[in-house]
Amino acid sequence: MGNVVTKEKSGIHKGTALPDKSTDITGLHSSDITQLNSNGGDDQRPIPINEMDDGKGGNHTVSVALEDVLGPEDSTTARYRKKNSIGKGAFGEAYIVERNPAYPLPKRRETTDEKEVFREKRRAGDSEPRLFVAKVMDLTSMSPNDRRYAQTEIMCLACNHHFAIIQYYEHFIVDDEDETIVIITEFADQGDLYRNLYRRDKDSFLSERDVGMYFVQLLLGLDHIHRRRMIHRDIKTANIFLTSRGFLKLGDFGFSQQYDSTVSNPIACTFLGTSYYLSPEMWKGQRYGKKADIWASGIVLCELLGKRRPFEADSLPQMKELVLSGRMWLPPTYPDGKHPLPGEGEGENKSDVNNKKVCYVSKEMREFLELILQQDPEKRPSASQLLKTPLMQHYLCLFRKRVEHMIAMDDELEKKYQTCLAEFTHSTPNYCLSMEEEALVLRGILEGEEVISLETERELSTSAAPRMESVVYKESVAGQWKERYLLLGDGYLTMTLAKGKAAAGSGERSKKVPLETINAVAPVLFDTPVQVEGSGGAQPILLQYAFAISTQNSQSIMFAARTQQERDQWLASLLAALKMD
């Protein structure tokens, strides 16, 4: 068992230096990211820092003096200048720091697609980040296991380059018998999610639309680390960070006390302070894995929606009893007929807060929460399975549109800069996204879309009753293409009659076509791609791959998919469901 170290709420990566509240979560963190072996257990081998690549990745294995790394605001010699302290913990302190321009950021290895983007297009306004977070970690207060996991944190951060994960830049070993490490990471300028939620008026809630777009980003980040055989083990609002551009980032990978295996140690000793997020299997002292992360993400989702956790108690024994009983609080659903459809009536300029004393959620969101917070980890979906749900596919689509809108705004600004340079005499364009950020976010979205495709293929190969759902484009009688949501399952092909995903399974503003009424399904390839305008100023979409269905009661209905792969999946699913394969 690992040594128990009590610790105040560290705020180890906080974007804003807000005072702690007496109601905040305090005590020991269980932040714990672990490499899993092929059997699903922990890889307990130590990962020495000096085995990491030197130089190119910003990994400084040669010891340096602390004052050469971190200095006061007026320092001319330190690589980073301390702005202010943002948190203290049992193992060290964290600061917001400013980079000294005399020291360029270390070059990160770029992927092939990034190299193509950056070689073809660099913009004058694409400046490097100026502010960072520096974690100064005191190894003398750590057990041997804690030291090993501190090294593991660096390794894990360095190998996860994803827009929804706090980015690692470099680290330093301080010349004091190697007893201090300084890690430089990304600075999220809106601070952690906990403080963003609970500093609001108690009767003000995030809109379900914004919650959905935040949560789909969390799932993208979780799926990314889970596919790399890692688990976080301390998912909570205090370890999730926000930016002013609307991006969510998962952080605090392994800074706190770590444990020897994925078998839970005694709860009262090990998890004090984060018990709100512990899964049933952890309370039972059973082995746990990535499904524990999923459970914790469900607690976070409940907080995002209602600023309240599903399980709250006055003591650890009461908390354990409550969680294992399955009795939980969830936000109530809207009264019948009075709730807006997901994504409907909430434009880009609408405030992100619903000023109301009762937080209502849609039926779909409530069912989604219940899907996540299942007692049995075997029945609890994975991050990729959650991404494949109609609700999360909808919010991934909305998130992509928001990003495309930002890119379109940047392109317009760049065009203006190139043609009206006189307007930028004393400044360069202030883009929403740098080219590197743009490539990183788009790659993260594409990765999520590929995960959904893989999950669809897996379900098709294992399910006797094929299911499929995604955003498609339907041709109207007038020849216009309109965004719809299409769902195949339970003997029906259900399409929404409103833009975006509506309550596909409820029959409200949707049309169900019984499968027995479908006579034929056929692929269609357009000689010339059809251009569909993106909503909210997003870039136009080119449609080329489509499929048509003919029914007993109507003429052919034409649907177009974004890619050939997605169109072919629809064809395979429909043919299997109709027993025509």
Q: Which domains does the chain have, with CATH numbers?
A: 66-186 (3.30.200.20), 191-338+356-462 (1.10.510.10), 468-578 (2.30.29.30)
Place of tokens 């400084």: 60
- Measured in whole angstroms, how far is the alpha carbon of residue 221 from the centre of its chain? 4
478, 414 in Cβ contact below 8 A? no
The per-residue DSSP string of 162-189 comes to -TTBPPEEEEEEETTTS-EEEEEEE--T
Strands 168-174 and 59-64: parallel
Amino acid at 295: W
Angle at 274 between CA 272 and CA 276, to 5 degrees: 115
Annotate 328-358 with b (16+ C-beta within 10 A) or e (fewer).
Answer: bebbeebeeeebebbbeebeeeeeeebeeee
Element (H, E) at 348: none
Q: In this structure, how many other beta carbons lie within 10 angstroms of the beta carbon of residue 307? A: 18
Angle at 172 between CA 167 and CA 177, to 5 degrees: 145
pTM: 0.73
Q: What is the pLDDT along the chain (581 residues), one digit of tens a residue?
A: 333 323 333 333 333 323 333 333 223 333 333 333 333 333 333 333 343 444 344 555 567 888 999 999 989 999 999 999 988 877 788 999 999 988 888 776 555 444 444 444 667 667 777 899 998 988 887 777 777 667 766 777 777 889 999 998 888 888 766 688 898 999 999 999 999 998 877 778 999 999 999 999 999 999 999 888 788 888 999 999 999 999 999 987 653 333 334 444 444 334 434 789 999 999 998 888 889 999 999 999 999 999 999 999 988 999 999 999 999 999 998 887 555 545 444 433 333 434 456 788 999 999 999 999 999 999 999 999 999 998 999 999 999 999 999 999 998 888 888 888 777 777 778 889 988 899 999 999 999 999 998 888 887 777 677 788 888 999 888 888 888 889 898 889 988 765 544 434 444 567 888 998 998 899 988 888 888 876 655 678 889 899 999 888 777 889 999 888 889 889 988 988 888 76
Instruction: Estimate the crossing angle of helix 290-306 against helix 363-372, to 10 degrees.
Output: 150
Q: How far apart are CA 35 and CA 149, in angstroms?
A: 10
Q: In this structure, how many other beta carbons lie within 10 angstroms of the beta carbon of residue 511? A: 14
Sheet with strand 70-71: strands edge to edge: 59-64, 168-174, 180-186, 131-138, 92-99, 80-89, 70-71
**Both ends of the chain: CA-CA distance in Å?**
56
The per-residue DSSP string of 522-539 comes to EEEEEEEEEEEPPGGGPP
Helix%, strand%, coil% for the chain, nearest 5: 35, 20, 45
By CB atoms closer than 10 A (0-12, 13-18, 19+), residue 39 is exposed
Q: How far apart are CA 397 and CA 483, in angstroms?
A: 11
281, 296 in Cβ contact below 8 A? no
